[in-house]
Structure 1
Amino acid sequence: MRIALTQSEGRLAGLEERLAALGLEVLRVPLVATQSLSADLSPLEDCPWWLFTSAAAVEGVRANGASLGGRLLGAVGQATRRALEEAGGQVGLVAPLENAKSLAEAFLARRPSGPVGWPRGRRAGPLLEERLRAAGYLVRSVVVYETRTLAWPQGLPAPDLVLLASPSAVEALPEAIGRSARCLAIGPATARALAARGLAHTLLPRPSVEAVLEAVRCFRGDPCST
């Protein structure tokens, strides 16, 4: 059985090795790339907390010359946490689950003071901002990077499973691959994008290595919990 992993490098660390241990052939097929943009970060300067929903946002902030030292920083997951620490920041909050909803809930549970800074991608979903605004926080967002889609490599063996982590990746997925393979969706937004294209898919219950492994076991008929 063959699986194509399209998520960004560093996300779901250790997944490739765990899949190989199950006997799967693993293809690394990135379908999106990010590019930092020139941005005015001054609206974020007086925000006690800066929240990051991707490692690309960290790189975008660094590309604009901002220092992360001495700030209160929140990260959506471990890859983003590592990027912040490598940039000299000290991370005070990491979402238990690797998604914006989990980051919003973890932040609100602390009841910190605002306003909140959110360096983000041009196509970032609104969930984090909506949750914080609904709780009474002023959110100042600045676009620091954009996402572009990449072509599926020609001549690549057709996979049985494709792991997709964003609507942008779904957009880049060739129709023939999407019809022939079973798509595994990380996050409701990814699942909605697949449904809009009429592609069969499974929404993972959590954005975790274990959730991917469990879906693989179920797909190939091994004992599983669902």
Structure 2
Amino acid sequence: MRIVLTQSEGRLMGLQERLETMGLEVLRHPLIQTQTLPADLRPLSDCRWWLFSSVAAVRAVLELGADLRGRCLGAVGRATQQALEEAGGRVDLVAPEETAESLAEAFLAQRPFGFVGLPQGNRARPVLARRLREAGYSVRSVVVYQTLPVPWPPELPVPELVLLASPSGVEGLPERVGRGARLLALGPTTAAALAERGFSYTLVPRPSVEAVVETIQHLRGETCPI
């Protein structure tokens, strides 16, 4: 069985290796790419906390000349944490799941003080900023990168499985693949984008390696439903 992983770099670290141990042929083809924008980071300069929801955001602020040392940093997932630490930052908070909701919950559970800066992409959902503002925090968001679609390679045959990790990725999915493959939707927003295009899908209930593995095992008849 062949599966194509379309998520962006850094998401679901270790998934390919897990799937290969299950006997799947794994191909990697991200359906999105990111591009740093000429953003002004000065609105974030007096924010004690900077919260990062992607590796792309880390890469963008570094390309824009930011110095992460001396700041309190929060990250979504291990890949974002690793990118921050490799850049010399000290990560004080890591969300257990790769979602903005998880980062908001982890931050609010600690109730730290200080303004919060959010370096984000142009298609970032407003949930993180909204949750923090509702809790009384002063939040400053700056769009530091944009997300661009990457076309499906015309020479790549339709696989048995395709993992979609974002609405942006769904946009790059050709009709023949959407109709011919079994689509796995990572989270409700990706599922909604697939439904809008009229594609059938199986929902992966959590944005984690384990949830993807368990979903595929269920589809293969190896476990009980999640």
What TM-score do you get using the length of structure 2 for normalisation?
0.97
Note the alpha carbon deviations across 1:15-71, whole angstroms, 9 max, x for none.
Answer: 111111111111111100001111111111111100001010011101110100010
Is the 8 Å Cα contact of residues 47 and 117 (structure 2) preserved in structure 1? yes
The letter for the 2-side match of 1:98 is E
More displaced 10-residue stretch of structure 1: 66-75 or 176-185:
176-185
Q: How far apart in 2 are the matches of 1:114 and 1:201?
A: 42
2:72 corresponding residue in structure 1:
72
1:9 corresponding residue in structure 2:
9
Stretches of structure 1 that go unaligned for 5 or more consecutive residues are none
Is the 8 Å Cα contact of residues 99 and 187 (structure 1) preserved in structure 2? no
Residues 105-144 of structure 1 mapped to structure 2, 5 A cutoff: 105-144=105-144
Q: Which runs of 4+ in 1 moved over 2 A?
A: 223-226
Is the 8 Å Cα contact of residues 10 and 55 (structure 2) preserved in structure 1? no
Q: How far apart in 2 are the matches of 1:86 and 1:14?
A: 19
2:165 corresponding residue in structure 1:
165
Q: How far apart in 1 are the matches of 2:218 and 2:66?
A: 46
2:210 is the alignment partner of 1:210: yes
SS of match in other structure, 1:43: helix
The letter for the 1-side match of 2:33 is A
Deviation at 1:225, TM superposition (A): 3.7
Percent identity over paired residues: 66
Note the alpha carbon deviations across 1:63-108, whole angstroms, 9 max, x for none.
Answer: 1101000100000111110111111101000001111000000000
1:93 corresponding residue in structure 2:
93
Q: How far apart in 2 are the matches of 1:18 and 1:77?
A: 17
Q: How far apart in 1 are the matches of 2:175 and 2:220?
A: 23
CA RMSD of aligned residues (A): 1.1
SS of match in other structure, 2:171: helix
Q: How far apart in 2 are the matches of 1:15 and 1:218?
A: 16
More displaced 10-residue stretch of structure 1: 199-208 or 77-86:
199-208
Stretches of structure 2 that go unaligned for 5 or more consecutive residues are none
1:39 corresponding residue in structure 2:
39
Is the 8 Å Cα contact of residues 57 and 119 (structure 1) preserved in structure 2? yes
2:29 corresponding residue in structure 1:
29
Q: How far apart in 2 are the matches of 1:86 and 1:51?
A: 16
1:175 corresponding residue in structure 2:
175
Note the alpha carbon deviations across 1:102-155, whole angstroms, 9 max, x for none.
Answer: 000000011111321000001111111111111111210001100100010112
SS of match in other structure, 2:125: coil
The letter for the 2-side match of 1:90 is R
